[in-house]
Amino acid sequence: MIWFFQKPKTTCLVLRIPLKEKITLDRLRRIEKAESILRDFLGDSILFRVRDHGELAWLDFLKRILAVIKKKDGEKLRKN
């Protein structure tokens, strides 16, 4: 699902929830918080999307971003 990398950095959070699933304020806030934590960790120049799948969060990003994540202190990310 690479197509979103041609999209703006910020889009409607509702689009991060699968079709036909219930949209709640709690889910939207959870997505917003996850993206904020990741943006603080990775920086503004890296484009990604957090998708809410109930008990799971999917992170969409380009493969080359894994190298950036590996270089950073993963412990800081896990604490959030």
User: What does the pLDDT average to over 4-10?
Assistant: 58
Does 6 have pLDDT greater than 80? no
End-to-end CA distance of the chain: 26
List the domain boundaries for the chain: 3-79
Three-state SS for 11-70 is: CCHHHHCCCCCCCCHHHHHHHHHHHHHHHHHHCCCCCCEEEEECCEEEEECCCCHHHHHH
User: What does the pLDDT average to over 64-79?
Assistant: 69
Q: Which residue has the tokens 């979103």?
A: 4
| Residue 19 confidence (pLDDT) | 93
User: What does the pLDDT average to over 51-60?
Assistant: 90
Flag whether the pTM goes above 0.85.
Answer: no
Provide the percentage of residues in the chain whose pLDDT is more than 70: 78
When the pLDDT of each residue in the chain is averaged and rounded to a whole number, the result is 81
